[in-house]
Structures are given as structure tokens and as C-alpha cells.
Amino acid sequence: RACIARQMDVEAYLTKTCAERIMVLDGGMGTMIQTYKFQEADFRGERFKDHPKDLKGNNDLLCFSKPDVVRLIHQQYLEAGADIIETNTFSGTTVAQADYGLEHEVFEINKRSAELAKEAAAIVTAKEPHRPRLVAGAIGPTNRTLSVSPSVENPAFRNITFDELAAAYKGQVAGLMAGGCDLLFVETIFDTLNAKAALFAIDDYFEERGEKRPPIVVSGTIVDQSGRTLSGQTGEAFYTSIAHSKPFCVGLNCALGPDLMRPFVQRMSQVAETFVHAYPNAGLPNPLSLTGYDLTPADMAVHISEWARSGFLNFVGGCCGTTPEHIKAINDAVKGIAPRKPHTHPPALRLSGLEPMAMTSDSNFANIGERCNVAGSALFKKMILENNIDRALAVARAQVDNGAQLLDFNFDDGMLDGVAMMRRFCNLVATEPDIAKVPIVIDSSKFAILEAGVQCLQGKCIVNSISLKEGEKVFIDHARRIKRYGAAVIVMAFDENGQAATEQTKVDICTRAYKILTETVGFNPHDIIFDPNILTIATGLEEHNAYALDFINAIKRIKADCPGCRISGGLSNLSFSFRGLESIREAMHSAFLFHAIKAGMDMGIVNAGNLPLYDDIDPSLLVLVEDAILNRRPDATERLLERAQLEREKKDAAKAGGVVNTPAAEAWRSLPVNERLSHSLVKGIDKFIEVDTEEARKNYPRPLNVIEGPLMAGMNIVGDLFGSGKMFLPQVIKSARVMKKAVAYLFPFMEEEKKRMIEENPDFSAKPAGTVVLATVKGDVHDIGKNIVGVVLGCNNYRVVDLGVMTPCDKILKTAIEEKADIIGLSGLITPSLDEMVTVAKEMERQGVKLPLLIGGATTSRMHTAVKIQPCFKTGTTIHVLDASRAVTVVSNLLDPTLRDDLIEDTAELYETMREEHYAAQEERRYVTLAEARSRKRVLDFTKRAPPPTFTGTKTIKNYPLEKLVSFIDWTPFFAVWELRGKYPHRGYPKIFDDPNVGPQAKITFDEAQAMLKDLIANNKLQANAVFGFWPAAAVGDDIELYDDDGKVVTTLRTLRQQAQVDVDDIPYEALSDFVAPKESGLKDHVGMFAVTAGLGLESVIKAYEEANDDYNKIMAQALADRLAEAFAECLHEEVRKVHWGYSPEEALEAADMHHIKYQGIRPAPGYPSQPDHTEKATMWSVLKASADAGIELTESLAMWPAASVSGLYFAHPDATYFSLGKICKDQVVDYAARKGQSLDEAEKWLGPTLSYDRA
């Protein structure tokens, strides 16, 4: 019999097949079992007839009592098209079987269930040996959870430990592998920590046996529209937490139907670097349905087909409520659709709490909150020793609120049971989402305490720390165990000889540890963090003077020798000599960080919120501390000690009630009010903000002007300092709180002003100027900028719908539609928000939400918007708004019909230029192979294709009335001929007449054109002819075959595909053939083409002007003929859409709407961006007969004659859009030349400007 036996074969087969097609999983085993309506006796069978406990509902036992039924269900799914079936072992652990008193049967349950599935697979594989069927061992979540307490009264309690659960999973794995499973599914994960225990057990099992692990599939469960698992993690955080296990495939199943699951599958497909699967429920539960769920097979197929075309899937199947009929429909729906290609993301240290965190080479310094450390905080230690856990949790919460990106937990104290306390505190933190959202750093010098912490955290944490001080064996053992838990690790620069103090020993120990970790242990280099020891300086001992400089200098060397690693450190040690003198210590810390971060330090245990800005350190003190830090002079310690003595005297005098003269501290209070406001914002001082805001309010006509003026100016300084690394996130948050306080103070005054305006002008409130939906995107909790924009817009009579923070994409779009919004605005502060904004743009494009999209926030930029976001929303408008003060102008212009189009066009042109500059600035533009581009082609839903045209073949129009074309003329290009260009907002016709510079001349030229146009029409000096037609068509690869009515090929149109690599995942590489139904689909589609001219007779007109040496009127006549030809193309296209093809019979567009392409379909032309090859015109002329029927000739260079002519193709699919081909590579040119029957040299000649390489 044909089967795949060896594990290596299984993985190789799956990898190969996943590159070729979407593989199909089975459906709901429980759903099918329920149709048999088994009773207690059916579950017991002979084997358990005397068992003391009820067994009804224990489906896993049916492998003993009803093996034929289980085998038959498996076989039905396989025959419906499933490639992989799961064993009937969802509850096959000792933990789950304990409810039935059957723990002792677990091995046999799993073994027998696997054997039954293998028997079914063998039967179907024998019928179809070319498509081997595989068996996956199903490992369910159990009925216990490691992250959630079963007791409301005791949130720290867990009814199972990590080790106990891992042991249960290990026993299940043993049975499944004994039964012959080809791969393992860890599925329906509602608690990621349970999954980590299962993955730990799997690795343990195979390592013990010295066997290669089979492919592992990990499947999470998003429980509702929050996008989180039951234990609170987002999908991306879930993936980050289990990625260490290197699963073959990761995805989602259960809980949701395909409609609600879609955004979460989409996100998983974007973040996962593995293959991706999904097996949703058949909609929502419905007790009246035969399967207990809403969706029929046909319903499911529609959703799954769309997922596949969107590029989300490598594997797909069904969960609850799905049957073999569902799987057959799903199999048919994905057949022929290209599978998703796994992504690779920029290298990063990826961590997670409930939410993900990624540290790339571009990330700002990360602050590790230091206050939950009994060794470093006397106050925290007191809380722990006194069992005041609520206050201790409040300390953790406050650090997150103040901007700590990670939290350090340490319970190393002789009076504490460190293991028990670490476990208790981590369990309690798991119940506090506002703390648990950030990654945790488990800190201890004892490995047992480190392990206790890691076993309680579902996210990917950092272990702090291990070292070589006990030798390589212990180091390797600890590192392997940490790796198996999936944590990152901090390695202290210690070895068998002690602590590294000098630059060279720091480098030597770290590089040695790196080599062991990467080569012996197999640690991901990006999960390695070195702490090269920040040691105390200015102690009076000469050998300590270089400690800080040695650390700074070691950073670059360690990073160069250890690619991918990160550098961290505990800052408080540096200034220990000056304990009690916070002004000295804080200045030392700020200055040290300034230099260490520039050298490459990535993170540190630091109370950044209390640090002064580097630029604000007293210059005389800065010199002293930098002399000490950088070891610039031998007497640096003595000089700093002298300053410290002065500071101590001031401090003592203050304690004794003396007067300390600190004029510099209060000098800023004498500055002008605008500068005082800016100072308060930058320093995060809220003491005087209301007083100063009131003073400023009296200086401005409107309270809003205070926000738009001095307050925004201050926040812009904050943004610049943050962007340059001179401010840390906690300091930015303090600034934001000051800003909020100022805005809150002004708000009543703005409300009073609005009330007064309504009384004076009732129409002011009768109808808002427009509705704007604002949201901070999912994953981001920062909202100060968004809130200010909301206030500013509200004060200008715009209706603002503020969705708050952490807003999912679907909620944003749903609200925008329900509220009939005019504009959507997205905000974000942290870098991951940029990816979420891309997601929103993609969804707006997919769902056809054509509202303008505004982008704002500290990490956003015009360049990022142009390069990453705007290309995802091709059919809409995306604009970056620099700050709140610009928002009103942008919104008002977008909602002004007279200004909107110019703003959109200006922005689109600017962003296109920026993209070109961005790619040109790269040393070498990257390209994908033709095969890669084709694998990521645009996939459309051809069930939405246009109906057949009213005729096939060609029709000719001669001497079309010119007067009917006048209303179709687009006059804007006419002025470009004369190099008359208005500046925004006076671009284009007719606004150009209002331009102060070119307006008067434009009006004169236009009036003269009108006079000539009337003459040309009245005296029949020009003739307009056209020929157009339609043919049955099908895409064959990158070509389009045209047929006659008998199905015979008439000609073949050749198209070219984009190859320039884009910076956004999921953006397809397009060719015009993508807009025509593929031949293999069997769907009937059509393509049209046309050629029009308005230049017949122009030669005589021009000749008369040449004889009169009248160049001005000669150019005018040529320009008008060109305008009439373009107008004829526009006019004919309208007739095609409404009559001849008739797919938009109700269309009622103005000419301006047509000029902005607001109709369905496109009419690209050879020689233009979508298909720059002019030789395709010869193919068109061969079927159009444009020379004979319309008098339009092709010259030797394939230009049209008369010159005032236009030709092109008609594509009618509603999702067809214009695109620019860009540069292409030689592999495509070789392929294209072969398809056209040209030599390579000839193809390169015609395609010269589009070649990405130099011709030989």
C-alpha cells in the first residue's frame, strides 16, 4: 500500500505540497459522533461495562467501543478531500480522563485512536497513491488552565502545575506515536501556557529517545471579537510565545465562524514565519440546525474561498459543526488557488506579555521597570515581607502606566521562599491585564526561582540571568532548559574566574557565551541579551575609573562579534558611590545612558521617569559626570566628590530649615508664557500648567488658539526629543499628562464659546461640517495626540466619533459605516501601530471603504505613509497629518468639493515621488524572480465578473459629431501644453483661473481655445472615427487569449508582471492578465479594445498655419485635437459601460468623475505604465482593423497616425485597477520574448526603459 512512513518523508512531502497547493484538514469529529446519538452503553462497550463512573460523552473511548464508526468518520473526511485527519483524542490526557477515572487507559486510548486513523488513511491512500493521506495526533487543551485560577477568592491558586501538565501531555504523545501518527496537533489553545507545557513535553519526549521530532502544528483559539485567547493574549502575542518551538504550521481553530475569525486569521498570516492554517466553526451555534451550527457547506465555501484568494492559507479545514460535506465544499473552493508563502520578518528580539513587543535595530531604548525587586527597593521589599501584595501589584501597575516596556521581578531575599513568592506574584500578575500586557523579566541568582517564574508566564519572557561562573556544563544545562521554555535570556559577563571588569574581559566572556549558546545549545541569536556589568565608578580606587568607559566601548565590540544580540544593564550600580545624592546620581545615569545608547545599548533596568533630559543637566555638573564616566582626566573623581559635598551641604541645610538659593530652578518662571508652557510640557511639570494656560488664554482670541499654538509647539519639541533618543517613553507620558491637564482646563471655555456661537448663529449646530471617526489602533494605548485632534475638530463644528484606544480594525470600519463618517483618522505612538495601520488600509481596500484615511502619531511619518500605507489603499486617499494643528485644514479641504480633488492629486503625486526617492536611495533596488511574482499575483473573485457584452467582434463609428465630445473634454492637460500650472489650491480647470500668477494668462489662452474649437466644429475641419470590439477571453498565465464565437483562438495579448520588491507584505505583483478569468476556471470572460481618432483633417489645418508662420495657432490646433481624441475615448468608454457591454447601465457620472476614474473598469493602453510594450499595438490592430476601418495607421515606430488618436484595452472586472509595471528583470524579458516569438535583443529594444539591468 502507498503511504509515507518516515518522519523525514512526511516533513518533506508537506513542505513540497504546501508550496504547490492549499492542503485540506478534516472537520468536526464531535459533530459527526453526535449524529449517532450514542447512549451510555455505547460508550462503555464490553471493556468498560462495569466501570463505576458515567462515561457518556467521553468520545475518546469510542476507539474501543465503536471503532468502526470512528474509522468510517475518518474515511468520510478523507474521501471528501481531506489530506490530514486528526485522531479522536481531544481529551486523551490523564488530566482530562481523570474526570472519568480512566487515567490508566490514556496510553491505549491514544495508541488505538491513532491506529484507527492510520487504517482509514491507508484505505484512501491506496485509491489515490499520488495523494498520500496523513494522520495528526490531536492534543487538546485539557480541562485545566495554568494562567487562570479556578477560585474567584484566590486568584493566585492554580489546580495544576506546569510540571504536572507537561507530564500528562508527555504520556499522551507516547501513545499517539506508538499508534503511528505522522504529525502532532496541539490545538484549541485557550491558554498559551498550557500549549507551552505541551510543546515542552513534546521536545522532552523526543530528546529522551534521541529521535527526530515530527512536524508540529499549533492551533490557538480566539474566543471573541476582542481578538484574544481566553487567557487574554492577542493572536500575535500567542504566536510570539510559541514560536520558539519552531512549529511547522500555526493558526487558529474553533470558537468563531469564518466571518468573525477572518481578521484574526489575516493577522496570523501576516506575522507567522511558518505555514498558516485555519479551521473555523460552521458559524454560530444553532440548536435548530442538523449540525448544531448555522453555516451550510456552500456558506463556508464562500468565506474560505475569499480567505484563500487573499493569501491567508496553507492548510484549511473545519471545526465544530462541520461535516464531510463541508470539507468537500472547502476542498473545491480552494482548488487551484495559490497557497500562502511564509513570510520572513526583519530580525528582532520578539517578546510578549498579553501583547507582543519587538525590538529591532531601529527600536528606541527599552525601559525595564526596576521597582518590583526586593533587592533594589526597600519599599517593595517591605510590602512583600508584610504580605501587602495589593500594594506590591500597584507598584507594578504604576511602572507600566509610567511607560516601562518590561517589568523586572526579583524575590531574592533570605527571609523569603523565593520559589513560592515568585510563583505567587506571577500568578497574580496574570490576573491583572494592565500589568500582564508587558513582557516580564524573571530576575534571580537562583535557577529554581527563575524556573518557577517562567512556568507561570504564558508570554515570552526574559530570564535574568545565567552565566559561566559555574562552568560550561551548568551554563549549557540552564540554557537548554530556558530555550525549551521559550524565553529569551540575559547572560551576565561572569566566568569561572569571576566578574568581567575590563573592556577586553567583557568582550571575551560574552563572545565565548555567544558561541556556546548559538553553536552548542542552538539558541536564537536575537534571544540573547548580554549584561556586560555596569560597575560603580568614582570610588576613589584608580582601577574603577575606567569601568563605565569600558562598558560603553565593549558594547560595539560585543555586538560586532555576536550578531543579533542585545545589550542590557542595571544602571543603579554606576552611581552607588553617591547614594543619597539624587541630583548627582540622576545626572550620572542620564549622561551614561546618552553615551551607552549611542554605542548600542538596547535596554536597561532604570527608573527613566526620574531622569533629567541630557540637554537639561547643569552644564558644570555635566562636565564633571562625563569626566568620570568617560575617564577623561585623572582627578575626575575628586572633582565630582567636591561637587557632591556642595550638594550634600545644600541638602543638609534644607533639612535644618536653612534657605537654599536655587535661582536656576525657578528661573524659567520669569520666561514669557508661551515658553513657560513649552517648558512645562518638555519637563513634565504640571504644577503651574493651569495658571499659565489661563494667562495664555487671555492673550489669544480663542481658547482653541492656545492648543494650536504654544501647547502644540511644546508637544512638537517633545516629539523631536523622543525621536532623537533624548527623551524616554516614561518622560513622554509625563509630558502627555501635562498636555491633557491643559486641554482639560481649556475645555469648558471652548464649550462656552461653542454655546455662544450657536446662540448667535443657530445654523452652526444644525448640521456638522462633517463626521470624523478617530481611533488609536489596536495594540496601542496612547491617545493624547488623537484627543487633541478631536478637540480641535470639535471646536470647528466637526462631529467627532472617538473610539478610544486599542481599537480593532473591524470596529473602526464598522463604526465609520454606521456613523456615515466622512473621514477616518488613525493614531499611534508605538512602532507596532504602524503595522496595524497598514492592516486597516488593506481592509479598507478589500471592503471597498472609500473614505479618506488620515494617519497621525509620534512614530508615523509622511515617508512611511507613502511607502507602506498608501500602496495598500490604492482606490482611496491616504494622507499623513503632521500634528493636530494641521488636522482642520486637511479635513476641511477634503470635504470641500472645490478643493478635494486637487489635494488628493497633489498628495498622490507627492507620495509617488517620495516612493521613487525611497527606492532610488537604496543601494540596489530589490526584485523578485518571475516565478515568485507569479506565485503572488493578484487573485480576483471572478464570480463578480461583468456580464457578456451585447455583441462580439468589432463595430466602426465614422464622423462622430464633435459637438458631442466637448462636454467630455478634460481641460487640465490642455494648460500643461502651455506650461501653465496653478499652485494648490488653484490646480486644474477651472480653478487655475484663480491662481494669482498664471490665472490671467490661462483665462486668455482658454478663451482663444474656445474660439478655435467652435471654428473647428462649425466648419467640419476635423473628423472623428472609432473602431471597438469585444472577444471571449481567458487568462493563460501572464497572457490573455482572445477567441471567436466558436472558441478558436483569434490572437493572444501578452502582458508583463511587476517584479520590483515592495516593502509591504501581501501586496500582489500585478499583470493585466490578472483581471481576466483564468482558462482553467472554466468561467467565460471577455476583453474589449478600441482605437479612436479626432485628428483626421488636422494636417490641412496645421499646414495653413505653417504657411502663415503662425506657430501659436498651430500648437493650439494640435492641442485641441488631442483633447478631442481623449474626450472621444472617454465618451466611447461611457457608451461601452452603459450600452455595448452594459455592465453599468445605471451609471450617471459627470465628466469630472470620469476624469477621476470613478467608474467600473479600466482602459489601459500599450506604451503606458501597465503595459509599456508598444508592439502589443500591432496585435490589437490585427483584430481591430483600425487602419482600414477607422483610418488610424501605425508608424514604423508603432506610433499612431493621426497623432491625435487614442487606443487601449477594456477590462470590466469591478476590482480591476491601473498600476505601474516599474522595472523588470531579465528572467521575465527572456520569458516574454519567447512567448512573443521575438529575439531577446528585439524584446530588450522595445522594453528598454523598463529594464532593471544594462543590456549586453
Helix (H) or strand (E) holding 953: strand 953-957
DSSP letters spanning 742-799: HHHHHHHHHHHHHHHHHHH-THHHHS-S-EEEEEEBTT----HHHHHHHHHHHHTT-E
pLDDT, greater one: 127 or 648:
127
The C-alpha cell of 428 is what?
A: 497574580
pTM here is 0.78
Indicate the pLDDT class of residue 3, thresholds 50, 70 and 90: very low
Indicate the pLDDT class of residue 660, thresholds 50, 70 and 90: very low
User: Quick one: which of 304, 257, 260 has its CA closest to 284?
Assistant: 257
Q: What pairing do the DSSP bridges indicate for beta strands 1193-1194 and 1200-1201?
A: antiparallel
* Single-letter residue type at 691: V
The answer on pLDDT for 5 being more than 60 is no
pLDDT at 730: 65
d(C-alpha 1038, C-alpha 1069), whole Å: 12
The answer on pLDDT for 517 being more than 70 is yes
**Strand pairing partners for 1032?**
1086
For 436-473, write each residue's pLDDT tens digit. 999 999 999 999 999 999 999 999 999 999 999 999 99
Indicate the pLDDT class of residue 2, thresholds 50, 70 and 90: very low
For 418-436, write each residue's pLDDT tens digit. 999 999 999 999 999 999 9
pLDDT, greater one: 532 or 781:
532
Asked if residues 994 and 1157 have their Cβ atoms less than 8 Å apart, the reply is no
pLDDT, greater one: 7 or 784:
784
d(C-alpha 281, C-alpha 290), whole Å: 14
Average pLDDT over residues 6-35: 90
pLDDT, greater one: 704 or 1084:
1084
For 479-493, write each residue's pLDDT tens digit. 999 999 999 999 999
The answer on pLDDT for 305 being more than 60 is yes
User: Quick one: which of 938, 1026, 949, 1084 has its CA closest to 1208?
Assistant: 1026
d(C-alpha 717, C-alpha 881), whole Å: 17
pLDDT, greater one: 704 or 126:
126
Average pLDDT over residues 297-321: 95
Of 230-244, 725-739, 803-817, 823-837, the poorest mean pLDDT is in 725-739
Residue tagged active-site, from 269, 833, 1073, 1205: 833
User: Angle at the Cα of 883 (from 881 to 889), degrees rounded to 5?
Assistant: 60
**Has 780 been annotated as catalytic?**
yes
Residue tagged active-site, from 83, 203, 531, 780: 780
* Single-letter residue type at 1165: A
In 10 A of CB 957, how many CB atoms? 17
Q: What is the DSSP letter of 967?
A: G
Asked if residues 1017 and 969 have their Cβ atoms less than 8 Å apart, the reply is no
Residue whose C-alpha cell is 478663451: 1007
Indicate the pLDDT class of residue 7, thresholds 50, 70 and 90: very low
Indicate the pLDDT class of residue 218, thresholds 50, 70 and 90: very high
pLDDT at 639: 92
Of 200-204, 546-550, 1143-1147, 1248-1252, the poorest mean pLDDT is in 1248-1252
For 350-399, write each residue's pLDDT tens digit. 999 999 999 998 888 999 999 999 988 889 999 999 999 999 999 999 99
d(C-alpha 765, C-alpha 1106), whole Å: 63
The answer on pLDDT for 510 being more than 70 is yes
pLDDT at 922: 62
CA distances from 798 to 255, 706, 780, 789 (A): 40, 19, 25, 11
Average pLDDT over residues 597-619: 88
The answer on pLDDT for 650 being more than 90 is no
pLDDT at 1013: 96
Average pLDDT over residues 945-959: 96
For 1079-1128, write each residue's pLDDT tens digit. 999 999 999 999 999 999 999 999 999 899 888 999 999 999 999 999 99
Indicate the pLDDT class of residue 765, thresholds 50, 70 and 90: low
**Has 782 been annotated as catalytic?**
yes
Helix axes 258-271, 832-847, angle to 10 degrees: 130
d(C-alpha 708, C-alpha 700), whole Å: 11
Of 302-306, 665-669, 1156-1160, the poorest mean pLDDT is in 665-669
pLDDT at 667: 82
The answer on pLDDT for 64 being more than 70 is yes
DSSP letters spanning 522-569: ---GGGEEEE-------SS-GGGTTHHHHHHHHHHHHHHHSTT-EE--
User: Quick one: which of 406, 493, 399, 410 has its CA closest to 452?
Assistant: 410
pLDDT at 645: 85
The answer on pLDDT for 1 being more than 70 is no
First-to-last C-alpha distance (Å) of the chain = 55
d(C-alpha 277, C-alpha 258), whole Å: 13
Residue tagged active-site, from 782, 986, 1155, 1174: 782
pLDDT at 225: 83
d(C-alpha 524, C-alpha 351), whole Å: 13
Asked if residues 87 and 62 have their Cβ atoms less than 8 Å apart, the reply is no
The answer on pLDDT for 101 being more than 50 is yes
User: Angle at the Cα of 1081 (from 278 to 85), degrees rounded to 5?
Assistant: 30
Average pLDDT over residues 401-416: 92
pLDDT at 734: 80
pLDDT at 338: 92
The answer on pLDDT for 1175 being more than 70 is yes
Q: How far is CA 218 from the centre of its chain?
A: 21
